[in-house]
Amino acid sequence: MTISHARMERAELKQIAPAADAALIALGQAASAAGVEKELVELVKLRASQMNGCAFCVQFHLNVARQLGVARAKLDLVVAWREAGIFSPREAAALAWTEALTAITPAGIDDAAYEAALAQFSREELALLSAAIGAVNVWNRLAVAFRFTPPIPQVASAAA
C-alpha cells in the first residue's frame, strides 16, 4: 500500500470532534495526573504505538518522552524491551501489560499477566494505566485511519 497524503490532520480532528478529542486527552492523562510516573506512561504509549504501526503516535510519544528526559537507550530499545535488560521491574510489568491489552485476543488477558501487573501496580494504578493504554490505542486507530502527518521532532504537546 502506498500512502501519499493525510486524509485528515490531527488539528482538524480536534476542530471537528472537540468532545472526542477532549475525552481522549483526559483519559490518556488520568494515570499521570493520579501519580503514575509520566516517563513510564510515555514508554507505554510508545510501545502500543509501535505495535499498532502508528507513525504519528510513535513520533509524538518519542518527542514527549525526550522532553521528560527518558533515557535514549530505553527509547531505542523499548521495541525489544524483554531482551534489553535495562527496564526496571515496574517498567517491564507496564510494557507487558501494554502488549497484553494492545494485542488482546478473544481469549482475553490471562491471570498470569494480570497477577504480574498487580505485583508492580496498585489496583488503582493498574486501572489508570489500562485507561492510558486504551486511550493510546484509540489515538493509534484514528491516526492510522486518517494518516496524520507525524509531528516534527522536539515539537509536542500532551495531547495524545
In a domain, residue 155? The reply is: no
DSSP state of 57: H
**Residues spanned by the domain of 17:** 10-146
Residue 94 forms part of a structural domain: yes
User: What pTM did the predictor assign?
Assistant: 0.91
DSSP 87: S
* Dihedral (Cα; 83, 85, 87, 93), 10-degree rounding: 50
Residue 115 in grid coordinates: 497477577
Query: What's the CA gap between 141 and 137, in Å, rounded?
Result: 6
Distance CA 25, CA 3 (A): 27
Evaluate whether residue 27 is within a structural domain. yes
Q: Cβ(136)–Cβ(27) under 8 Å?
A: no
Amino acid at 106: P
How far apart (Å, rounded) are the C-alpha atoms in residues 155 and 135?
Answer: 21
115 in a structural domain: yes
Helix (H, G, I), strand (E, B) or coil at 90: helix
* pLDDT tens track, the chain, 160 positions: 565 689 999 999 999 999 999 999 999 999 999 999 999 999 999 999 999 999 999 999 999 999 999 999 999 999 999 999 999 999 999 999 999 999 999 999 999 999 999 999 999 999 999 999 999 999 999 999 999 999 987 544 555 5
Q: How far, in Å, CA of 59 to CA of 54, rounded?
A: 9
The confidence score (pLDDT) of residue 153 equals 78
What is the pLDDT, as a whole number, of residue 152? Answer: 83
In a domain, 119, yes or no: yes
pLDDT at residue number 5: 86
pLDDT of res. 4: 63
pLDDT at residue number 24: 95
Domain count within the chain: 1
Q: What nine digits make up the cell of 41?
A: 506512561
Helices (H), strands (E): how many in the chain?
9, 0
Kindly report the CATH number assigned to the domain that includes residue 26. 1.20.1290.10
Q: Phi and psi at residue 87, in whole multiples of 5°?
A: -95, 140
Q: Is 113 exposed, middle or buried (0-12, 13-18, 19+ CB in 10 A)?
A: middle
- 109 inside domain: yes
Q: Report yes or no on 142 lying in a domain.
A: yes
- The pLDDT assigned to 58 comes to 97
